[in-house]
Amino acid sequence: MQIDVRNIDRLIAELSRINNKIETSASDDPSVLEALDEVTATLKELLVLGCSSDQPEVRRCSVYGLSKTCDPMDTEILIASAGDTDPAVRAWAIEGLGKLGLPSAVPVLIASLGDFDSFVYYSTVLALRRFSPDVVIGPLIESLNNKNVLVRQRAAKLLGSFKDPRAVDALIDHFAHDEPSVRYEIIEALCQIGSPKANKLYIAALEDEVYEVRCAAIKGLRKTGDDSAIEPLVQTALSYKEHRSAAIEALTHLCGVEAIWPLHQMIKEVNQMAKEVASSLIKSRMLCVLPNLWEQSQNSIVN
């Protein structure tokens, strides 16, 4: 017989239907309620036993059933199943742990961020997002030190989704010494949180070797940048053809709509006219943020 998790759904639904019918009929016969309790207990025992079966299909159905009943007594079984060799078993176990919402499950869930199976990873993110930020922010910050690059990368991404300012300092501290994929997620996370404390990091990241990191840094400066970002953004527009459009957009956001034409002119030709146009823009803003840019730009290669 083919084992299907839908059979578990149907069985749970039928038991719930019978239970509701008995409750609404206000039966005075205790034997009926006892019989229903016995059936439910037997089903529960079978599900628990099935979690240790050597057949993946049985384990899937059993863990799936426990993930639907959401009994705190099953926490340890679900934690153990989160390390199963079968990805479907891991995913159902993680879903159940997320529904239970017990802090004791958080370390297991964070470790599961490094799972290579996309279904398991997706289930892990959904499970962790069920928790209060007060429960998961600390462990997620600690996981930025994890040896597994996937855990670090996905933890940074998740920290961004919580938009909790408590994560800002840790994300900034971990940026310089990590892999490109993690650096990118750190910048993206800081953009989501939207803290001006990250502006210096964004400016430094404009010179990152990785294209995606530079893109994210420009986006961050567009969101929270101040006058200190103008010179680095102009230099980025001059030095990186692939970033000109985004850098000009960020500069326009910082300087106002009156900056659109002069910024375009400045990029088109690096000569005396560009100097004058840009200087006029800066004066109109009463800023003095471009002390050495134009001398440097004379030697820039503008394609």
| 32-36, 38-42, 95-99, 253-257: which is most confident | 95-99
Q: What average pLDDT does the chain have?
A: 82
CB–CB of 232/206 below 8 Å? yes
Which CATH superfamily groups domain 132-225? Leucine-rich Repeat Variant (1.25.10.10)
Token pair in block for residue 251? 């500069």
Q: Domain 1-13+42-130 in CATH: superfamily?
A: Leucine-rich Repeat Variant (1.25.10.10)
Domain range annotation of the chain: 1-13+42-130, 132-225, 229-303
What was the pLDDT predicted at 105? 96
57, HSE (Cβ side, Cα atoms, 13 Å):
6
Distance CA 156, CA 169 (A): 12
**Residue scoring higher pLDDT (27 or 42):** 42
Please give the DSSP secondary-structure letter assigned to residue 285: T
Is there a common fold for 1-13+42-130 and 132-225? yes
State the DSSP code for 210: S
Q: Which of 73, 80, 9 lies closest to 51, judged by CA?
A: 80
Structure tokens that stand for 239 in this block? 């030095």
CA distance 102 to 63: 17
Q: 6-20, 185-199, 274-288 — which is least confidently predicted?
A: 274-288
Which of 5-14, 165-174, 293-302 is most confident? 165-174
C-alpha 205/C-alpha 256 separation (Å) is 24
pLDDT for the residue 293: 45
pLDDT, position 69? 84
The answer to whether residue 199 scores a pLDDT higher than 90 is yes
Whether 266 and 248 have beta carbons less than 8 Å apart is answered as no
Q: Quick one: angle between helices 118-129 and 87-100, nearest 10?
A: 0
